[in-house]
Structure 1
Amino acid sequence: MSNIKIIPLGGVRENGKNMYVVEVDEEIFVLDCGLMYPETELLGIDIVIPDFSYLEENRDRVTGVFLTHGHEDAIGALPYFLQKFDVPVFGTELTIALAKLFVEKDSQVSHFDDYHIVDEDTEIEFEHAVLGFFRTTHTIPDSVGVTLKTAEGSIVYTGDFKFDQSATPAYQTDLAKISDIGKSKVLALLSDSSDAESSIENMSDYKVAEQVEDTFRNTKERIIVASVASNILRIQQVMDAAYKSGRKIFFTGKKVEEIVELAMKLKKIHLPNEDLIVSIEDIEKYPDNEIVVLETGTTGEPIKTLQRMAMGKHLQINIKEGDLVYIVTSPSVSMEVTVNKTKNMIYRAGGEVKQISDNIKASGHATPNDLKLMINLIKPTYFIPVTGEYRRLAAHAKLAHEVGIPFKNIFIPGKGDVVEYKAGRMSMSGQVTAGNTMVDGIGIGDIGNIVLRDRKLLSEDGIFVAVVTISRKKGKIMSGPEVMTRGFVYVKENTDLIESSNEIVRKVVEDNLNHKEFEWSRLKQEIRDALSKYLFEQTRRRPVILPIIMETSSRNRRN
């Protein structure tokens, strides 16, 4: 009898960073390897990736990485993963091509070339499991789900998916294959929960394309479209609508150009006309009513780039009077404040704003009816909702119960929780090391909670620096105290506060110099305590206080 463990290292109780570990006896299979773009409170952080510690502890057992689709939340952490692991990477044609695009930009792993292209007919035999795939519908072609056939039954992971009966062939779900999977014994289903709370069903992509085309035909000015670069379905719809309405398209970013060029090379995007795409040099040759600007931003959301356009700070295109800004992506909930701020800035710049989500629901993720259909087709014994914040996982769990899965067979894990099938029963059996690894510039994992806390404090109440030069031999202050502040108060209007702070520092330093057992750590801490108390009493603010104490008898600064 096989021992099976399912361990989410990311993608649960959060948006993005999908990574799920399935252990079958001594073999470890890694499903997806995604990143997450940081929320507002992660000041200065570029991206967030999973903690690979558990996999590093068991590196000899890792068989490979199996990717479901080409979005950053499924492939974005791959360059960092491959810095630590030399294992094969499996995915469909477009997914592998996009993964290579990510990896080749990282000089540390650009030499990696152990990629394997799979499709819905591929089966990969390992010692304890057979890996297979099934086609799904998402906002990018070549999306698949993954099955692991074991002696105890199959483990099925849907990846990001939805059902759309009018999907074009490149995006169609293989319903027959999914139904066949459900006819055999399915031990557990890991299913996308991103839209489990939705009270509105998705509109078909055929209808979405009509909406985009109607907007283009009925707009008499220039159109600036905001979309995610990797949403190839939406980009295709924009290209088709531009062609049908007699417009040319200009791409504003290198990233979208790379993705579109790659997708066209693999025939995953159809270019309606060879002259459809124009360069920045040629854009002035056409009147505004013949131009579409496609803006995708530099990260997961294009919204902040629209702000630069509205302020006239974009390097290529800026918003002007009469422009229609058409937002065809569905920004995350955490971006709502930013979206509203951006809309205001666009209107002040003379433009107008239209969101595709104002009138229709156009998501790449399954809504409740689709989720229940997937469960009914797969017929799992155990159910594990993944991909989404806790409330969405809980909503998905309720949907599973509605279609007949008892709550005792439903597990809502957190990162690192071990769901284990042993001796004929599945249960929570412990935890492994898991969490967030922050990537800031070239630093990977060197930013922790303490640094983030300090950044937050600095952003809220600023910094207060006290500089003093002393002579312990003479027992007196040689220069200073001098206090400096940034982001705390306006010095010229708070001279009394600054002078009083100087006196507080002077008294603390003199008291310590007169003490027989002088200690640097005690001196600095007493300065912090005294200033913190005084400044809070006067301002109700708590700046970061940094005492810098120098000694004339030493060339080394002590701080």
Structure 2
Amino acid sequence: MSDIKIIPLGGVREFGKNMYAVEVDESIFVLDAGLKYPETEMLGVDFVIPQTTYLAENAERVAGIFLTHGHPDSIGGLPYLLADVNVPVFASELTVELAKLNVKDYEATKKFNDFHIVNEKTEIDFGGVNISFFSTTHTIPDSLGIVIGTKEGNIVYTGDFKFDPAVTQGYKTNLGRLAEIGSQGVLALLSDSANALSTEQSASENEVAEKIYDVISDWEGRVIVASVAGNLARIQQTIDAAARAGRAVALTGHDMDQIVETARRLGKLTVDDGMIVPLKNIKNYADDEILILEAGRMGEPIRAVADMATGRNKQVKIKEGDLVFAVTSPTVSMETFVAKTENIVYKAGGIMKLLAAEIKVSGHANVRDLQTMIDIMQPKNLIPVQGEYRELEAHAECAMEVGIKPENIFIEKRGDILSYEDGVFVPAGAVTADNIMIDGSGVGDIGSIVLRDRKILSEDGIFIAVITISKKDKKIISRAKVHTRGFVYVKQSRDLIKDSANLVNETVSNYLKKDEFDWTEIKQEIRDALGKYLYEQTKRRPVILPVVMEVRSEENLKNNRKKKAKKKAQANEEE
């Protein structure tokens, strides 16, 4: 019997950050290497990736990384994984090209080029383990599911998927291939759960395309379309609608030019010559002859629209008669921001519409699609992935409706190890799988304490107390001065500022009377005294930063100068 373990390092009980390690005997196969964008409380964080310590510690056993599609939740964490685990990467043509863009942008991996293009006809033999693929329908072409063939049966990872027979070539699911995989025997199915709470049938891509055209063609002014950059299906539909309506398209947004150019070069995005015009030339077109396509990561298109409405965008400003049309569904965490953005768009003279308010759209499987996948695959075990806990639970419930027993459904936490023993999967401990936060060029240097301080700073501000002492003479040389930002309005709080400075002076004076002296201790006493006083006066807890400076005595300064002169003389003699 093969030694099989399944370890979700991300993508369970959360949306995004997909990464799953499947161990078969001595080999580890990594499925996806994604990121997720920060939640509201993660102040200043750019994005979050899975912790890959376990993979780094077992790097010699990792056979390869297998990617399902070109969205950030699948490929965004790849550069950081490759920096620790230098192994081949396998993906479809478009996914490989988009992954290369990510890898080249990261200093540690910009020279990496061990990519291998695969499709649903590809089979790779890893010595007793056979890896194959199947096409899936998602909002980006060339999406694949992954099959790990073992002696005990197939382990199938769907990636993001839905069923829609009306999609164009490049987006189609090969149902015959799914049936073939199911007939071989599926030991475990890791299946997309992001839309598992929905029983409503999503509109077909043809219906979506027609709705986008109807909205654009009916509008007499400028149209500004907001779309996530990776949603190439929406971008294609938007460009097609603009062409039918006689409008040129100007592109703006994070990485938009690179993604569109890559997709066009590979034939995954069809754009007639002359359709795309430089953004700087939009003033040369009448309002009913131009469409501005704003595309970015996750909520970035909506944030860009907000900047346009408030005049912070230098290139595009929303004016009277503009239509803002959001064609990708906002995440739950963005709903409040979307409502605020809609309000300021109206204030600027424009109108905002959401495609999701017009028709039901999703790139993920609803309940019926999930049950269809289970019915085709007939898995012995189900592991819901890619979703918050409520979505994983909903997936489990719909699976039980089609005959999967509760004891064969596993709702995992990050890092949990599922081990196949004596014909059944059982919990077998856990590995460390924390969130790793990326802030600028820093990787993992932001933790819960830093986030807590940022949260306090954002809510209650900072309070700085500066005092100068003589440690030798045990006296205050320069009395305390206090400064604050984001805490109180200084001009209206002069008494509070004065009393705080006096409190620092008193605290330091009392401390200097002690026989022993410790820099950490004196700062902590200032922090404690100020914290208690400021909370009593304001019911707020700002970040308190004590700065205690020391005046050196003339004798100490002379000794230091002598030491430096002696070291210099010794250095000259050695030369």
TM-score range, shorter chain: over 0.9
Question: Which residue of 2 is the match for residue 260 of structure 1?
Answer: 260
State the shift of 1:275 in Å.
1.5
- Residue identity (%): 56
- Describe the SS at the equivalent of 1:380: coil
Question: Which residue of 2 is the match for residue 60 of structure 1?
Answer: 60
Q: What amino acid is the match of 2:241?
A: A
Q: What amino acid is the match of 1:332?
A: T
Q: What amino acid is the match of 1:280?
A: L
Tell me, yes or no, if the aligned pair for 1:252 and 1:316 is still in contact at 8 Å.
no
Tell me, yes or no, if the aligned pair for 1:250 and 1:278 is still in contact at 8 Å.
yes
1:212-265 per-residue CA deviation (whole Å, 9 max, x = no partner) reads 010111111100000001100000000110011111100013611111111111
* Partner Cα separation in structure 1 for residue 300 and residue 430 of structure 2: 33
* Partner Cα separation in structure 2 for residue 218 and residue 83 of structure 1: 50
Answering whether residue 132 of structure 2 is matched by residue 109 of structure 1, we say: no
* Partner Cα separation in structure 1 for residue 327 and residue 252 of structure 2: 16
* Partner Cα separation in structure 2 for residue 548 and residue 307 of structure 1: 40
Question: Which residue of 2 is the match for residue 319 of structure 1?
Answer: 318
* Partner Cα separation in structure 1 for residue 445 and residue 394 of structure 2: 36
Tell me, yes or no, if the aligned pair for 1:78 and 1:103 is still in contact at 8 Å.
yes
- Describe the SS at the equivalent of 1:168: coil
State the shift of 1:282 in Å.
2.9
* Partner Cα separation in structure 2 for residue 12 and residue 297 of structure 1: 25
Residue ranges of structure 2 left out of the alignment (5+ in a row): 558-575
Question: Which residue of 2 is the match for residue 214 of structure 1?
Answer: 214
Tell me, yes or no, if the aligned pair for 1:2 and 1:422 is still in contact at 8 Å.
no
* Partner Cα separation in structure 2 for residue 482 and residue 434 of structure 1: 45
Question: Which residue of 2 is the match for residue 173 of structure 1?
Answer: 173
* Partner Cα separation in structure 2 for residue 299 and residue 210 of structure 1: 24
Residue ranges of structure 1 left out of the alignment (5+ in a row): none
* Partner Cα separation in structure 2 for residue 167 and residue 207 of structure 1: 10
State the shift of 1:519 in Å.
2.9
State the shift of 1:300 in Å.
5.3
* Partner Cα separation in structure 1 for residue 146 and residue 296 of structure 2: 31
1:339-395 per-residue CA deviation (whole Å, 9 max, x = no partner) reads 111111111111100000002111100011001000110000000000011110011
Flag the 1:483–1:103 CA change in 2: closer, same or farther, 3 A: same
Question: Which residue of 1 is the match for residue 196 of structure 2?
Answer: 196
- Describe the SS at the equivalent of 1:365: coil
- Describe the SS at the equivalent of 2:344: helix
Answering whether residue 536 of structure 2 is matched by residue 537 of structure 1, we say: yes
Question: Which residue of 2 is the match for residue 154 of structure 1?
Answer: 154
- Describe the SS at the equivalent of 1:426: strand
* Partner Cα separation in structure 2 for residue 280 and residue 391 of structure 1: 42
* Partner Cα separation in structure 1 for residue 253 and residue 391 of structure 2: 33
Answering whether residue 381 of structure 2 is matched by residue 382 of structure 1, we say: yes
Aligned length: 555
* Partner Cα separation in structure 1 for residue 254 and residue 498 of structure 2: 53
Tell me, yes or no, if the aligned pair for 2:242 and 2:291 is still in contact at 8 Å.
yes
Question: Which residue of 1 is the match for residue 572 of structure 2?
Answer: none
Question: Which residue of 2 is the match for residue 187 of structure 1?
Answer: 187
State the shift of 1:201 in Å.
1.6
Question: Which residue of 1 is the match for residue 523 of structure 2?
Answer: 524
* Partner Cα separation in structure 2 for residue 174 and residue 315 of structure 1: 46
Question: Which residue of 2 is the match for residue 80 of structure 1?
Answer: 80
Tell me, yes or no, if the aligned pair for 1:528 and 1:547 is still in contact at 8 Å.
yes
Question: Which residue of 2 is the match for residue 412 of structure 1?
Answer: 411
Q: What amino acid is the match of 2:422?
A: A
State the shift of 1:276 in Å.
1.1
State the shift of 1:475 in Å.
2.5
* Partner Cα separation in structure 2 for residue 299 and residue 398 of structure 1: 29
Q: What amino acid is the match of 2:287?
A: D
Q: What amino acid is the match of 2:503?
A: I
State the shift of 1:298 in Å.
5.5
Q: TM-score, normalised by structure 2?
A: 0.95
- Describe the SS at the equivalent of 1:329: coil
Question: Which residue of 1 is the match for residue 366 of structure 2?
Answer: 367
- Describe the SS at the equivalent of 2:318: coil
Answering whether residue 338 of structure 2 is matched by residue 342 of structure 1, we say: no
Q: Which runs of 4+ in 1 moved over 6 A?
A: none
Question: Which residue of 2 is the match for residue 27 of structure 1?
Answer: 27
* Partner Cα separation in structure 2 for residue 122 and residue 298 of structure 1: 31
- Describe the SS at the equivalent of 1:269: coil
Segment of structure 1 superposing worse, 100-109 or 58-67: 100-109
**Which structure has greater helix proportion?**
2
Q: Give 1:393-408 correspondences, 5 Å limit.
A: 393-408=392-407
State the shift of 1:165 in Å.
1.6
* Partner Cα separation in structure 2 for residue 476 and residue 7 of structure 1: 60
1:173-224 per-residue CA deviation (whole Å, 9 max, x = no partner) reads 0111001111121100000000001132211011000000101111111000
Tell me, yes or no, if the aligned pair for 1:24 and 1:128 is still in contact at 8 Å.
no
* Partner Cα separation in structure 2 for residue 418 and residue 478 of structure 1: 61
* Partner Cα separation in structure 2 for residue 298 and residue 141 of structure 1: 17
* Partner Cα separation in structure 2 for residue 19 and residue 547 of structure 1: 43
Tell me, yes or no, if the aligned pair for 2:199 and 2:368 is still in contact at 8 Å.
no
- Describe the SS at the equivalent of 2:291: strand
Q: RMSD across aligned C-alpha pairs, in angstroms?
A: 1.3
Question: Which residue of 1 is the match for residue 9 of structure 2?
Answer: 9
1:302-339 per-residue CA deviation (whole Å, 9 max, x = no partner) reads 11111111111113111111100000010100011111
Question: Which residue of 1 is the match for residue 144 of structure 2?
Answer: 144
* Partner Cα separation in structure 2 for residue 266 and residue 294 of structure 1: 21
Tell me, yes or no, if the aligned pair for 2:14 and 2:386 is still in contact at 8 Å.
yes
Flag the 1:365–1:338 CA change in 2: closer, same or farther, 3 A: same
Tell me, yes or no, if the aligned pair for 2:132 and 2:146 is still in contact at 8 Å.
yes
Q: TM-score, normalised by structure 1?
A: 0.97
* Partner Cα separation in structure 2 for residue 246 and residue 346 of structure 1: 25
* Partner Cα separation in structure 1 for residue 380 and residue 280 of structure 2: 60
Question: Which residue of 2 is the match for residue 250 of structure 1?
Answer: 250
* Partner Cα separation in structure 2 for residue 113 and residue 551 of structure 1: 55
Q: What amino acid is the match of 1:103?
A: V
Flag the 1:441–1:254 CA change in 2: closer, same or farther, 3 A: closer
1:378-423 per-residue CA deviation (whole Å, 9 max, x = no partner) reads 0000000000111100110101111100100000001000111112
* Partner Cα separation in structure 1 for residue 137 and residue 310 of structure 2: 38
Answering whether residue 476 of structure 2 is matched by residue 477 of structure 1, we say: yes
Question: Which residue of 1 is the match for residue 490 of structure 2?
Answer: 491
Question: Which residue of 1 is the match for residue 501 of structure 2?
Answer: 502
Q: Greater CA radius of gyration, 1 or 2?
A: 2
Segment of structure 1 superposing worse, 166-175 or 468-477: 468-477
* Partner Cα separation in structure 2 for residue 281 and residue 531 of structure 1: 54
- Describe the SS at the equivalent of 1:54: helix
Tell me, yes or no, if the aligned pair for 2:480 and 2:501 is still in contact at 8 Å.
yes
* Partner Cα separation in structure 2 for residue 66 and residue 494 of structure 1: 60
Tell me, yes or no, if the aligned pair for 2:279 and 2:315 is still in contact at 8 Å.
yes
Q: What amino acid is the match of 2:89?
A: V
- Describe the SS at the equivalent of 2:108: coil
